[in-house]
Chains A and B, each alone.
Chain A
């Protein structure tokens, strides 16, 4: 966890330096804004990881001497298969196309997207279908 935190925080520090250098050299707002946004991209998750790295015992994947025995057991639950990503993808496709081909597609696409959103959420709670 510590290395992961260091990578993200290091990214934030690097871009903080670059942002400051860029701003005081060029006074160009667009690039500075984007660079400053990149600082936040490193800082927010980095600070979260840093917080936990201080408080957690190293996980088995953080310890070079961990054995497979220590890591045995449940890794997590993974859906076997699911139709909802496909339905959601097609719904979003129609929503996007409605911007070019007319609002009537938005109705169809919107309904499918909403239906799929409910489906994918309910599936997470029920434990999967199909």
Chain B
């Protein structure tokens, strides 16, 4: 049954109910972005727990010198699969398949994604990709054991025989195509399905960041797919693209992989920057500080990130050091702008330390340290000294844990009420945060020191007497805390399932359109829309008494439409209304009042 989606002008008296299949058939046949988004998120979180368990095994192995818990082969398989699951199957799909899929159509006021059936296909390719990746453990030779980067020639048929590595390559092809399809879908949805009045520069920052992320996916993933096809051809069809004996060039693989790999880091980071940029203004009860600066910083980060792949290859000796070092340093500038604006958003706000806000602040601190050690590594002399040591491991774990876990699970706490119509418990959420926060620093700070003491990465055992033992023990203890914190999350989900606390449409007094519809949203999302006259239409609708914000001084004042007036009821929650003095400070120089919204 094809449904014609109409954008209603007023409230439907009898909203059209969607008749469709139920039960397992509903799950198999759904093209609703919300169901697909939840499928994505649940699958990704399962992958996160599986991969996290592998990390715990790795940490137990490393807690004592000369440990014999795991064999060398098992250890190699575990760190390879830990990285692959986290990067290819959790962090990315959780953001652009899960969160973006669910939230973007709601934030732009669209009834669904632009290509719903393509969206469903993306999910099935992702799910089969997960199955293919894990299938490696069931083969005779075990799973792939060459690291998530699968460098040639280690990944060749001679050095890594068996079906496990083949399955690894094919799993990346499947999930890679699912990512490409989702990216096309996201870009089309954002370009063509926005609500009237929702101009590009009124879109929520999460939507902006997902647009830029989707473009990065379209730049990076085809290169990865081609690298994997070449690698597979080398392994199975006797090609010699990456083998020296056949006249190939192994370092070409590194070029191809990192041309994907560095943008991939930002594909994993930018959506979560967007999440934090959504959460901070809502819980600081202020509009975002420097909206346009945020948008341009996102674009600058994305553009620069495509020109820095060589900094992963400094020690190969065949890349242009000054070029890649320069561009890597330049990324610090837009990232600094983002930090400045995040702090500016919180500055003198009425901050409410609810769980999503705590996770966002945890992100700020963790990402700051991870980002700064990244700036250090952009310098070739420092990179030569620390390449392939635990210093690098600590750096990227801090960056990616801060983004994908702190901000990612902050997003879960923030949008869970919208997705299920019920709240998660604040107390358990805060317990989750504090355990994870302490565990995070305990786990990764010792790794920096270990790296500086010279401990190489990807080693299963180490001799005693090098001063590495105690630091590794601290790190392992930290990882246990993180594991306990995620048991608390499961407990929280269980409690919320057994004893639901209804969330209502707008539990956080949110800014963006998703908080206008019911929780969970109906089929085709909206029965009505508020007038869109700024980047926070729902807040405007709920707080008509608040003075207008003028972002640009040009203020042409063309807004004369009756829809621009605010007729909605004030939400009037205690303590949620911005103080007049606070709002007046926000550049309100316009005598035109609310008409002055126009950019």
Contact = CB atoms under 8 A, between A and B. Distances in A.
B299 A7 contact: yes
B117 A79 contact: yes
B315 interface: no
Nearest to B19: A80
Interface string A103-130: 0000000000000000010000001111
A28 B598 contact: no
A93 to B, nearest CB: 4
A22 B318 CA distance: 14
Given A41-B218, A77-B5, A83 B163 contact: no
B59 interface: no
Contacts of B256: 30, 34
A84 B118 CA distance: 10
B128 A75 contact: no
A39 B236 CA distance: 33
B242 to A, nearest CB: 12
Contact of A82 (B31, B163, B199): B31
Contacts, number: 215
A22 B307 contact: yes
A50 B252 CA distance: 36
A86 B132 CA distance: 16
Given A77-B3, A100-B170, A89 B21 contact: no
B9 A128 contact: no
A90 B132 CA distance: 12
Name the interface size band of chain A. 35 or more
A93 B360 CA distance: 38
A62 B320 CA distance: 43
Interface string B580-599: 00000000000000000111
Interface string A62-76: 111111111111111
Interface in B211-244: 215, 218-219, 223, 232, 236
Contact of B306 (A38, A60, A76, A129): A38
Nearest to B27: A86
Contact of B167 (A60, A86, A89, A100): A100
Nearest to A21: B323
Contact of B197 (A4, A64, A93, A101): A64
A35 interface: yes
B196 A61 contact: yes
A78 B124 contact: no
Contacts of B533: 64
A25 B319 CA distance: 11
A3 B28 CA distance: 38
A36 interface: no
Contact of A99 (B2, B197, B232): B232
B596 to A, nearest CB: 12
B111 A78 contact: yes
B453 interface: no
B6 interface: yes
Contacts of A80: 1-3, 18, 20, 31
- Among B29, B163, B196, B598: residue with most chain A CB under 10 A: B196
11 contacts: A25-B320, A31-B255, A38-B306, A41-B218, A61-B196, A68-B531, A78-B112, A81-B31, A88-B121, A89-B121, A130-B25
Given A22-B307, A74-B5, A89-B123, 13 more contacts: A11-B303, A18-B307, A63-B199, A64-B559, A67-B561, A68-B197, A76-B5, A80-B1, A89-B125, A101-B163, A120-B117, A129-B1, A130-B21
Interface of B: 1-9, 18, 20-21, 25-26, 28-32, 110-112, 116-121, 123-125, 127-128, 131-132, 163, 166-167, 170, 173-174, 191, 193-202, 215, 218-219, 223, 232, 236, 252, 255-256, 259, 299, 303, 306-307, 309-310, 318-320, 323, 524, 529, 531-533, 558-564, 597-599
The 7 closest A-B pairs by CB, nearest first: A89-B124, A71-B196, A85-B120, A60-B196, A67-B563, A61-B194, A93-B128
Interface of A: 3-4, 7, 11, 14-15, 18, 21-22, 25-26, 28, 30-31, 34-35, 38, 41, 60-86, 88-90, 92-93, 96-97, 99-101, 120, 127-130
